[in-house]
Structure 1
């Protein structure tokens, strides 16, 4: 899930919302950022409580542009966005202290980390809280900046290039970024000079094409909620083009099961072919009006054993 913006699940009796307690079971819970409305301590506390209540043994969490107190350079340079000054150390401790570690919470801002679950499954995850500059919020970069792809030979000689480039296939199983790649569930009504323009990142799209993870989860663009399956172009394909196929879900079933379920394991009807396909998920819980009308996504997939 993503973009909960300080909201916890509705009461279990509220059958009008899929985002209600208890959240669906899972081995791993992923949150793709915008935990809060404006990074206040009580907002973070509400989200950490939600994670602690979930039975997943691992909860990987990244910040988003609204989580300004987790981007300390930004927070310190934008005092007019503070309101009441916040205790940055205490907020950081919520996600990294002993209680958080015991609950399986792992906060990542940008980089790569490998995990092994109790059942023996292992995976490597790339995370990035950063997205193209958007209304002067946190974790932003200029659209001309490429922070996801390896530097050119000249950039290497000059000591330039991104600090955490995304490696090529087959090194990453799962990608979690706050912002979407360009053209994939990233359409924003009235963004820039055009209606329904793409707000995603071109550089991130190039990187995910190289990386070809099993899953790329993101949020940020509330109206983009959904899932699509990319069949990457190959030499064997006559058309030579990538094919992006929407995942069709039943809204009634989503309400009943409190989530949108996808099975891309060998037990499902259409197993994901790693290296040939990627499942993209825009997991925003909030809709465009900041109402929590969207459902969490629950994905069944197979991972290698350690």
Structure 2
């Protein structure tokens, strides 16, 4: 059931296999973008604190691997549970997830999870696992908090895989509820933890519209990590440079706004709306030979 997208070489050279370029790699080839990346990386905005937090454990792209998972209130898996996507593989991964002690578990599919694209998924034992497929759920936690969670498995077409869409299809615009606190998608948003702009622009626009507290994704293995997306003019200028619609003037704008941020009060900084982004791809490396740790966040 494993589908090839054009042979081993094509698989190994997919964008999600390449390392993340940093500002010093860009200074000679694209100095405008290099300076923008330097400024963007320098402004380190922290996730927003909550007096009554929910601990969320984030994993994605396990590809049949079963990592050691820390405790938490909510376990999220952002797709690619399996490698070949057979019913047996999915069943084994669900059995592993069911065995974990987390009181709440939410899963979406990824492009490797073929069995979840057919009616075969109804034959599976989901137990205490909630499965989302371009749908939402609300979960109440023991501390009284309620989180609204939206999940979508779709990723841009890259061969002959599951849950894919063509670049001309728009599966994102106005498709998620405004009250969503958490996004789980397999596809990353563009320009953020996505390796050189491989992510989805319309998903990024949807983040700006909804502004959830947390967005977990995977798919692009090399983008593993955590970033805080701030919804302000500084980030807008950075993204315009990444889109090639902003030039050196946008770099000067970023520099001016960065200085303003450095001298701003704590209250002003805390007032900036933001989303914690997590690329939770467990499997990584050029030949998928790395095993990363789950990422835990409090929201």
Residue in structure 1 matched with residue 124 of structure 2 by the alignment:
94
- State whether residues 211 and 275 of structure 2, in contact with CA within 8 Å, keep that contact through their aligned partners in structure 1: yes
Which structure has the highest helix share of the two?
2
CA distance in 2, matches of 1:293, 1:34: 14
- C-alpha displacement at 1:292, in angstroms? 4.4
Where does structure 1 lack aligned partners over 5 or more consecutive residues? Answer: 10-19, 73-87, 151-164, 188-196, 245-268, 302-306
Aligned residues: 213
Equivalence for 1:123:
147
**Corresponding residue of 2:88:** 42
- Asked whether the 8 Å contact 2:132–2:150 carries over to 1, the reply is no
1:63-97: CA deviation from partner (whole Å, max 9, x where unpaired): 0000011112xxxxxxxxxxxxxxx53x433244x
Q: Pairwise CA RMSD of aligned residues?
A: 2.4
Partner of 1:33: 79
TM-score, normalization: structure 2? 0.66
Q: How far is the alpha carbon of 1:5 from its aligned partner?
A: 0.4
Displacement of 1:181: 0.8
8 Å CA contact 1:233–1:243 kept in 2: the answer is no
Paired residues of 1:212 and 1:275 also in contact (CA < 8 A): no
Distance change in 2, residues 1:6/1:201 (3 Å): same
Alpha carbons of 1:277 and 1:92: their partners in 2 closer, same or farther (altered >3 Å)?
same
Q: Confirm or deny that 1:179 pairs with 2:184.
A: no
Q: State the structure with bigger RCO (CA 8 A, min sep 6), 1 or 2.
A: 2
Matches within 5 A, 1:1-306: 1-9=59-67, 20=68, 23-72=69-118, 89=120, 91-96=121-126, 100=127, 104-150=128-174, 165-168=175-178, 171-187=179-195, 197-233=196-232, 241=236, 276-288=273-285, 289-301=287-299
Distance 1:242 1:52, change over 3 A: farther
Unaligned runs of 5+ in 2: 1-58, 240-265
* TM-score scaled by length of structure 1: 0.64
Q: Tell me, in whole angstroms, the C-alpha distance in 2 between the residues paired with 1:29 and 1:275.
A: 27
Secondary structure, counterpart of 2:275 in structure 1: strand
